[in-house]
Chain A
């Protein structure tokens, strides 16, 4: 049986499995945002950075190799992950008290997990108008972290190509594929996979936001690191109830 050593613990893996997949199967949490077990990994958020045989790599994209020594839950890596979170927080407008995703949000849950007490950096306060044109779904771009899960879901699962990223560097942002740029002018529907995958509070079902009160939500009840086994339904929250 081939194994990797994750923080000293031997984990078996099958050929072709990534470090993330081997860890998830063993119930061990590696922080992540753009990774989703149902989608091809792209390794863009870098939250899952681990040290494999001494080198920093993305756990969601690197295939496990027999005998590989992987460092995951260490002060060094968690410091770097916390800094990445802080940069994500200041780049957007992540005002949790006004967000209906609060308590079900992976960004927030990871900030709790990694004990991020302050955004530390200077706030950007970008101007990102919301798109409330669609009858069933609100788009609040203020919270977008560019994980591309909605892009991938709409393109690869729904076959609709409703979302895309546009611009480069710090100007990169999420756009809607319609001449008007409005979600109402696409064939997007609440039944789409893309409506279910947002790890933060960008894609929100209307008139459902507070069906479960704040304080009784997914990550209010149990920290994100304790919920590894139910990863496939990670963004469910209110939709499932």
Chain B
């Protein structure tokens, strides 16, 4: 621990794109091991710090796929700033639940949800310029930027996340075997 404390702490950023924050909740499931983690890690941009933009980091954890223009900006910001980028969870890895709309026409989806669906009166499709434009399809993040590592699961367990991060921080090749490797 002495050498790690003497050297610079590892800088870690996390974000959720088209995700449900379930992977972040699972990250918190490492529970008291968070105390070990903050001995070795400083958090940069993350829902845990509320820092809005990512600075130069060692590790970036991305939850969620890419479903709108803002997701792409954030993802590219992370890729620019993080030496190691990790896709965490089903959505970041294969699009996950949001990608279940991919075989539908986006225009028709918006029409049905905001205009023609049951129980809607005086509906309108949201068009505030502040809202990021949705993409016609949801994509996993490796279709947009280069991704170094993947932690599958919906969400991956706290134990899987811990195993992966401690392997990485110790300089080992991160490895998830049975039963930590799960897609569900």
Contact = CB atoms under 8 A, between A and B. Distances in A.
Interface of A: 89, 93-99, 102-103, 108, 111-113, 115, 117-120, 122-123, 125-128, 214, 220, 222-223
Contacts of A102: 183-184
B154 to A, nearest CB: 4
Interface of B is mostly: loop
Interface of A is mostly: loop
B23 to A, nearest CB: 12
A223 B90 contact: no
Contacts of B151: 117
Contact of B94 (A115, A119, A126): A119
Given A117-B152, A118-B142, A95 B179 contact: no
A96 B93 contact: no
Contacts of B93: 117-119
Contacts of B179: 220
A226 to B, nearest CB: 9
A95 B140 contact: no
Contacts of A112: 178, 181-183
Interface residues of B, number: 31
Given A96-B154, A102-B184, A223 B178 contact: yes
Most chain B CB within a 10 A radius of its CB, from A118, A119, A220 = A118
Nearest to A129: B103
B115 interface: no
B94 A123 contact: yes
Contacts of A99: 184
Nearest to A142: B103
A138 B94 CA distance: 24
Given A117-B150, A117-B152, A118-B150, A123 B95 contact: yes
B137 interface: yes
B90 A125 contact: no
Nearest to A222: B178
Given A119-B93, A126-B103, A96 B184 contact: yes
